[in-house]
Amino acid sequence: MTATRTVLVVGGGAAGNAVTILLRRAGLSVDLIEAKDDWNATAGSGITLQGNALRVLRELGVWEQVQASGFGFDSVGITAPDGTVLHVDRDLRTGGDDLPATIGIQRPRLQQILIDAVRASGARVRLGTRAETLDQDAEGVSVRFTDGAEGRYDLVIAADGLGSTTRAALGITAEPEPTGMAIWRVAAPRPAEVTRTDLAYGGPAYISGYCPTGDTTLYAYVVEANRDRTSIPPESYADEMRRLASAYGGFWPQITESITDPAKVNYTWFDRMLVEGSWHRGRVVLIGDAAHCCPPTLAQGAALSLEDAWVLAQMLTGADDWDDALLQAFYERRIARVRPVVEASVQIGRWQLDGVRDADLPGLMGRTMTMLRELP
């Protein structure tokens, strides 16, 4: 009888959770380790998930929970800084006609849905744990963990995010690079009339916008040129975001009133990264933000990570040999889809930073989203 294959998943974010669920469903033995004790269960404000992300969540068996917990919509409004609606565009349903174009959901709620699905899958989960050493040979990977335990695996999947320590341990030199922009985000009460994303270009920031995330919630964001993060004390975050947001009209005055707690405001730079050539070394393979990241100008970061998990799980469970050729084929299949999204996401921000007024923004977005409607 063939022994059950064993997999270690490093990182319990969207990509790591998704690949764990899918591999357990196929009967593989999976250990998942996550460096944070709380499994990121309370981090973040909101997230925009487009149809190609929803398609993967349906494959994971959690679509109904996501649908019930979030807020679905099929259009995006473009407004002037004063709130005047200039144009409403119908979004492409990139996940297929039977899924909404977009779901907004509170990020902690999405994480909890995925955590519950991982737990139900029967995977072995250890929190507050990192992989300390990875020793490979032709047959597998021996891992020593920071909690003193050791394990032997047929494959290690590194889904440990943008600052992946696994990526560095493999000798892959790619690192996130700032694009020149930064974003302020906050969760807030949703005015009943907010039933889609609205975006304003211009004003004191490059972009201001909000996305409904549930019956009574939304998340709001303001994008500006990045600043030295050490010059912004965390206790001033609410004041800083409120100052920027107060210049915008429409529903922004109601939203701005609720921006009072600096601990609930998140400030991050936009980064880009794309690991080239391959995403694996031996029997360790990168997925998600460990392999690629892009600014949220197309709201595709989580979607691409979820797609990585889906595609890798399909390829692993359909192959007799987990060899270099298989993992290289995974890279080649994904890079053809990921690279255009990363490049388009960066280009949109670059046009704004450079003040390009005649940029073909609708054309670039349309071409990219049409490509994403195809199965990954």
**CB distance 157 to 19 below 8 Å:** yes
In DSSP terms, which residues pair with 285 in a beta bridge?
157, 280
> CA separation (Å) from 78 to 48, 51, 221?
17, 20, 15
User: Any idea which residue has 């929190």 for tokens?
Assistant: 127
**CB distance 151 to 130 below 8 Å:** no
Taking the C-alpha atoms of residue 25 and residue 117, their distance in angstroms, rounded to an integer, is 11
**CB distance 301 to 179 below 8 Å:** no
Count of C-beta atoms within a 10 Å radius of residue 167: 25
**CB distance 45 to 219 below 8 Å:** yes
Q: pLDDT per position in the chain (376 positions), as tens?
A: 368 999 999 999 999 999 999 999 999 999 999 999 999 888 889 999 999 999 999 999 999 999 999 999 999 999 999 999 999 999 999 999 999 999 999 999 999 999 999 999 999 999 999 999 999 998 999 999 999 999 999 999 999 999 999 999 999 999 999 999 999 999 999 999 999 999 999 899 999 999 999 999 999 999 999 999 888 999 999 999 999 999 999 999 999 999 999 999 999 999 999 999 999 999 999 999 999 999 999 999 999 999 999 999 999 999 999 999 999 999 999 999 999 999 999 999 999 999 998 999 999 999 999 999 999 9
> CA separation (Å) from 188 to 49, 161, 219, 248?
18, 26, 6, 16
Within 8 A by CB and 6+ apart from 146, the residues are 129, 130, 131, 132
Taking the C-alpha atoms of residue 190 and residue 265, their distance in angstroms, rounded to an integer, is 16
Taking the C-alpha atoms of residue 174 and residue 99, their distance in angstroms, rounded to an integer, is 35
- Biggest CA–CA distance in the chain, Å, is 69
> Which DSSP state fits 362?
H
CA-based end-to-end distance of the chain: 34
Q: Output the CATH code of domain 6-57+107-176+273-373.
A: 3.50.50.60
Phi, psi of 94 (to 5 degrees): -70, -15
